Chain A
Amino acid sequence: MSRTFVGWPAFPEAAAAATHDERLRANVTRATHTIRGKRARLVAERPDWEDLRDSAAALKDDVLAHLDSYLLQVEEQVTAAGGTVHWARDAAEANALVTALVQATGEQEIVKVKSMLTEEIGLDNALEAAGISARETDLAAAIVQLGDDLPSHVVVPALHRNRAEIREIFVREMGRHGRPAPDGLTDDPPQLAEAARLHLREKFLKARVAVSGANFLVAETGTVVVVESEGNGRMCLTLADTLISVVGIEKVVPTWRDLEVFLQLLARNATGERMSPYTTTFSGVTPGDGPQTFHLVLVDNGRTRALADEVGRQALRCIRCGACMNICPVYERTGGHAYGSVYPGPIGAILNPLLKGPDDPQTASLPYASSLCGACNEVCPVRIRFTDVLLELRHQVAEGDAAVKHPAEKAALRAIGAVMEHPAAWNAAVRAAGTAGPLVPKNRLPGPLGGWTDSRSVPEIPKESFRSWWKRTDGGTR
């Protein structure tokens, strides 16, 4: 079984452990700052950047408002082009469908190209249980899989690993899964890339079945669009006999003209490139060219739950560019694993509770995994207002229907609130704070505030509050 995020600890616990890992921190900081810089330069090239963001947000909102009819259009077009469309309500249905489709081909070893959705639904383990081995072919995803690791970023899943670690994984693991790493492999990037090329090429040439994700689904022609950097995806999409694309229902764009908007935004915002090196589009089946059997599995798995949330539904606009995590000061200190999902960072903090419901301690902790600094709001190409959604989800956790409540915190805040709302009590409390100075322990605040003082001195409580001063001096005039 490969590792999964099932049973992952809540964010504060996972994050605290991550902040102590200095190598992780160095790797994440280096990578995110590099991408940030490249992105900033390329965004500055476009005087119409803000207009593109407006268009992209409006287009996605239109899709989400009419998702039912766009999806039927996708089905109609894909079917007309010789493909077969399947619908999956949840992870179990999707996994059963894909497993059955692979079993029907009789193949035991298949290739996959980076698909976060298959990670989200745990497809690898479902296939493994049926005796089918699925090997990742996107370089970063392959590094994660070889290392029996978990993805930590939506664009660069192995972002938390440095070159030396990758070399070590290649040397140790490649031989167990196919062609071994060349003798004398160093951590020189071209050498690492060549080792990966040789190892993966063997897989592409052997595999008869490929599973892919998709960046977009163009409704008017039923076209699947896959955007990537290495060309490994294109190998998967073109060399196999049977192609199974597993796609979330929110990936639709109505027309090719709409696609143009997203292709201009995606590469610049994701990797700081004007255009992604490989943009592969395919519609159904073409006789004598590429896969001769094509299945499209459309997956809900919580998306309609998110869609029903008036404030939260904007999270479904996400095109997985990763810019929100690259800019996030919290992600920079914790890396992606702390979020317990293939979707980390600011989008993970909102999307996971929206998809799954903020009903267990892990998903309920995610909306609080933010200082609300708002840096993500500024870089999102589809203008997701993270801070609005975070506050809405906190409200659902604190006061709404979420099954998890925080009774202790609620009681404490209610007590504070009662004092704050009553002037007489408030005046008394402020006076008490002024005189309580010496009673407050010097170095550590009590109770839940204790963590605060682990890295900070306690502020001195002044002898006289502002209101006492105002009263004593009649507003500073006496």
Chain B
Amino acid sequence: MRTALFVTCLNDTLFPRSGRATVTLLRRLGVQVDFPPAQSCCGQMHWNTGYRAGTARLARHFVDVFGGYDAVVVPSASCGGMPAEAYAVAAESAGDPGLVRAVHEIVPRVHELTTYLTDVLGVEDVGAWFPHRVTYHPTCHSLRAAPLGERPYRLLRAVGGIDLVELPAQEECCGFGGTFSVKNPAVSGAMNADKARHVRATGASVLAAVDNSCLMNIGGRLAKDGAEAGRVVRTMHLVEILARTPEDGPVPGLPLAAEATR
């Protein structure tokens, strides 16, 4: 069984700690994970902006890099969903039937991280310990496009010491939407402000999700608001919570769950 990590370009450059946490967690669960260094980007920005030729080129690259693996694990619901949702259409639009076949062949082996944990490895309690108040935002992709359902909640509930609180209006989009936040910054910012307000209302010290793109968006707002209010809510990819054990202790600088108050 050869397992590869597709870390995604955003995690590679801006959130390497999520990639490292994925490696730590998978090793703890007995998975020997490989990182093929030729990997690049899933092409989501191209795809969402309408550039299918570019998406098809990145799809070809993805298939070349990961074709030899039995499983490809992706710590992102939106990037992890790209092969299944976009690659075949992009390949067809590029008039490349060979690529269409290769895409259909690889798609069943590409797994978003939480699905890999619960459905492939069959675990819920991953031995994590995280004694802080956490709220979870189901990103639109993980909620609707490739629904993860209860999986992230089941994984989080099994974490020792955690105080998991529900996020009000959690199903509402944070306003990121890639291209959308660049083309329509005013509307995107208004959506994000509401999301950040709901997050702060939970009293959580950490906001978790399965997409660092959305967390970067909400985190940008939380940092700005927090700097004014004197208390910043941190954002963490869910895997960073799952990777921590009692030996790691509490996260320095974060209030303990028992002390976390509204």
Cβ of A375 < 8 Å from any Cβ of B? Answer: yes
Find the A residue at minimum CB distance from B232.
Answer: A457
B57 to chain A: which residues have CB within 8 Å? 417, 421
A434 to chain B: which residues have CB within 8 Å? 13
Shortest C-beta distance, A75 to chain B (Å), equals 39
B48 to chain A: which residues have CB within 8 Å? 372, 391, 394
B50 to chain A: which residues have CB within 8 Å? 367, 391, 393-399
Shortest C-beta distance, A323 to chain B (Å), equals 15
Residues B45 and A413 in contact, CB atoms below 8 Å apart: yes
Q: How far is the CA of A137 from the CA of B89 in the complex (A)?
A: 47
Cβ of A475 < 8 Å from any Cβ of B? Answer: yes
Which residues of A443-467 are within 8 A (CB) of B? 448-449, 451-459, 461-462, 464-467
Do A329 and B172 contact each other (CB < 8 Å), given the known contacts A413-B51, A423-B38?
yes
A475 to chain B: which residues have CB within 8 Å? 23, 33-35
Residues B186 and A15 in contact, CB atoms below 8 Å apart: yes
Cβ of B177 < 8 Å from any Cβ of A? Answer: yes
A373 to chain B: which residues have CB within 8 Å? 140, 144, 172-173, 177
Binds A, one of B14-22, B121-129, B150-158, B160-168: B14-22
Q: How far is the CA of A128 from the CA of B142 in the complex (A)?
A: 52
Q: How far is the CA of A416 from the CA of B49 in the complex (A)?
A: 13
Q: Mark B38-54, 1 if CB is under 8 A from A, else 0.
A: 11110101111111111
Cβ of B130 < 8 Å from any Cβ of A? Answer: no
Do A456 and B217 contact each other (CB < 8 Å), given the known contacts A373-B140, A461-B13, A471-B37?
yes
Chain A interface size band reads 35 or more
Find the A residue at minimum CB distance from B195.
Answer: A329
Cβ of A368 < 8 Å from any Cβ of B? Answer: yes
Shortest C-beta distance, B121 to chain A (Å), equals 19
Residues B144 and A375 in contact, CB atoms below 8 Å apart: yes
B120 to chain A: which residues have CB within 8 Å? none
Residues B223 and A12 in contact, CB atoms below 8 Å apart: no
Residues A374 and B184 in contact, CB atoms below 8 Å apart: no
Q: How far is the CA of A11 from the CA of B186 in the complex (A)?
A: 11
Q: How far is the CA of A11 from the CA of B50 in the complex (A)?
A: 17
Cβ of A369 < 8 Å from any Cβ of B? Answer: yes
Q: How far is the CA of A422 from the CA of B46 in the complex (A)?
A: 16
Residues A470 and B35 in contact, CB atoms below 8 Å apart: yes
Do A430 and B192 contact each other (CB < 8 Å), given the known contacts A399-B50, A454-B185?
no
Residue from the list A410, A451, A457 in contact with B223, Cβ < 8 A: A457
Binds A, one of B4-12, B107-115, B203-211: B4-12
Residues A329 and B35 in contact, CB atoms below 8 Å apart: no
Cβ of A73 < 8 Å from any Cβ of B? Answer: no
Q: How far is the CA of A458 from the CA of B16 in the complex (A)?
A: 17
A462 to chain B: which residues have CB within 8 Å? 13-17
Residues A421 and B58 in contact, CB atoms below 8 Å apart: yes
Find the A residue at minimum CB distance from B14.
Answer: A459
Q: How far is the CA of A394 from the CA of B54 in the complex (A)?
A: 14
Residues A459 and B184 in contact, CB atoms below 8 Å apart: no
Residue from the list A11, A378, A433, A458 in contact with B220, Cβ < 8 A: A458
Q: Which residues of A are at the interface with B, using a C-beta cutoff of 8 A?
A: 11-12, 15-16, 19-20, 25, 329-330, 333-334, 365, 367-375, 377-378, 387, 391, 393-399, 409-410, 413-414, 416-417, 420-423, 426-427, 430, 433-434, 448-449, 451-459, 461-462, 464-467, 469-471, 475-476
Given contacts A329-B175, A457-B219, A457-B224, 11 further A-B contacts (CB under 8 A): A333-B187, A368-B184, A371-B191, A373-B140, A373-B144, A399-B51, A417-B51, A422-B40, A423-B40, A451-B182, A465-B12
| 17 contacts across the A-B interface (CB closer than 8 A) | A16-B186, A368-B179, A371-B175, A374-B144, A377-B144, A387-B145, A391-B47, A394-B48, A394-B49, A413-B54, A420-B43, A421-B58, A452-B181, A454-B189, A455-B221, A466-B16, A467-B12
